[in-house]
A and B are shown apart, each in its own frame.
Chain A
């Protein structure tokens, strides 16, 4: 049995087993037909040709892998720096909005002396999945932020769980999150300025960015380790 290629007037290459389009490949159509040929000789020739091609490709593949790892490291470093920049601007925005809220409502309404010292559960928690965990398959640690967990509603889902496609469920979660946000601001009074709500959103964004930074740093350090291994391996 053998395979041969025929040019196709449509300009598409069909792979019978994969069912995908390769527009950039030569315009051929793949077909299968049973042909009577000396099978064993042909097989040996093909195997020898394949082995020769693989021997030639080996140093090139190793170089490509190294370059890929360096590119991965640089990409992760770029992402990390971008996230640090957005963290800085989110925090600056938040602090200015807080000052603006104090200017609007008065410094006696927004100050550290009225923060709640009673025991209450955290509204937001951070979960760390490390490679040592049996349920976790990745090589680097991963941080997951679970926001507004103090909600009593049983239908509430955390940020990291994929939301249903159902719009009603999504709207219900949004309303619940809004309620939780307003509840945390009750410390400063029930009727607070919109500027204080904006400050809350800015700090919330900063918190999410911080967790992204931690994850990106974890990936970056892992990529750096791979690059370092490659360099040390090359020197040896």
Chain B
């Protein structure tokens, strides 16, 4: 019952909510980012990060460092924190935490299938997979020739099985089919996650509905922009949009017909929450759109911590941590390429 979570929430999930709020206080601040942006080399970045909670993960890395090494070690920290929370969680929080990782699972499946199609070594592909999306039989994906085999041999025993019903075909896998499969799976996953949160009810349903709707709308915009000038038809594009969100259904109809970024802008400016995002961009520009969306997402995620006794804080923390890792990746790339003047193009401050 909404409003009465305070009576029962702490019985099973109070400890973990305290843990995640503690993790949140360990996120990098604007002062940390300013110090990192002034580094001259990747070793300087490592030195600055050694004073943060990333210190133990980077201290044993030999020089010269690479940007991918920094990202891998920071991701390991996120994985350790997630596993600590998952092993302590009971139902329904444990299922909620598992839902958070299904997106990475989909990405890993697509990576393995794409790499196999390009005749790459499976071990090499497994090293590039996101650790949060690993499952036991992932290496067997390399055997499948089409989606039907993919489902029958491997994915039927994974949490992604229910999402395959819309994209099972016997067509051989190629780059276009794989892209359609990726987006169809992600659409099904988001809708399933949305239904699960709605079923939980209370503050979790309210906060997660807002966050997942924003995610669905952002996906719709990205799919539209990325498919401009490609062979994806209007109907196929519309089928990739999720069936919820602020843009559903009329915004989706208009987005499906867009042929350039200015038409996308005209559609999105009809919706007040997105008007502020597109007002930051000049006409014909899409370079800063990602940053504008990330800033809006971070704002919403931080707001979720203002309320207690809901599962949204766990989702918000995971997303904020991923944003932090993206920030560190971008800063490292700018420092490594000696392009520090561009470092603020994509860094999103969390606090």
Residues of A within 8 A of B (CB): 92, 95-96, 99-100, 102-104, 106-109, 111, 113-118, 178, 182, 186-187, 189-195
Contacts and interface: CB of A to CB of B under 8 A. Distances in A.
Interface string B167-180: 00000000110111
A85 to B, nearest CB: 16
B333 interface: yes
Given A113-B128, A116-B118, A194-B225, A103 B329 contact: yes
Interface in B83-121: 107-108, 111, 114-115, 118-120
Most chain B beta carbons < 10 A, residue from A107, A111, A115, A117: A107
A107 B329 contact: yes
B107 A106 contact: yes
Given A99-B333, A99-B337, A114 B232 contact: no
Nearest to B226: A191
B178 A189 contact: yes
Nearest to A99: B333
Contacts of B68: 107
Contacts of A189: 114, 175, 178-179, 182
A92 B342 CA distance: 12
Nearest to A193: B226
Given A182-B230, A186-B175, A103 B118 contact: no
Contacts of A102: 329, 333
Interface in B48-88: 68, 71
B229 A95 contact: no
A104 B330 CA distance: 10
A1 B306 CA distance: 108
8 contacts: A102-B333, A103-B330, A108-B130, A114-B115, A117-B118, A117-B120, A190-B176, A193-B290
Nearest to A104: B290
A178 B286 CA distance: 20
Interface of B: 68, 71, 107-108, 111, 114-115, 118-120, 124-125, 127-130, 175-176, 178-180, 182-183, 222-223, 225-227, 229-230, 232, 286-287, 290, 326, 329-330, 333-334, 337, 339, 342, 345-346
A103 B229 CA distance: 22
Contacts of B180: 190
Nearest to B325: A107
Nearest to B67: A99
A197 to B, nearest CB: 8
B43 to A, nearest CB: 19
Given A107-B329, A189-B114, 8 more contacts: A92-B339, A103-B326, A113-B125, A113-B127, A114-B114, A118-B118, A189-B175, A190-B230
Contacts of A114: 111, 114-115, 118, 120, 125
B179 A103 contact: no
B176 A103 contact: no
Contact of A108 (B129, B183, B334): B129
The 5 closest A-B pairs by CB, nearest first: A190-B179, A191-B226, A99-B333, A186-B175, A116-B118
B219 to A, nearest CB: 11
A114 B119 CA distance: 9
Contacts of B107: 106, 108-109
Nearest to B224: A191
B115 A113 contact: yes
B87 to A, nearest CB: 25
Contacts of A193: 222, 225-226, 290
Contacts of A192: 226
A96 B342 contact: yes
A136 B180 CA distance: 50
Contact of A190 (B129, B232, B346): B232
Contacts of B125: 113-114
Contacts of B339: 92, 96
A115 B230 contact: no
A194 to B, nearest CB: 6
A194 B288 CA distance: 11
Contacts of A115: 118, 120
A101 B229 CA distance: 18
Contacts of B287: 100, 194-195
Nearest to A192: B226
A104 B223 CA distance: 13
A30 to B, nearest CB: 59
A96 B334 CA distance: 8
B175 A113 contact: no
A173 B193 CA distance: 46
B80 to A, nearest CB: 19
A187 B128 contact: no
Given A92-B339, A107-B329, A114-B120, A186 B176 contact: yes
B226 A194 contact: yes
Nearest to A117: B119
A182 B226 CA distance: 11
Contact of A191 (B120, B127, B179, B346): B179
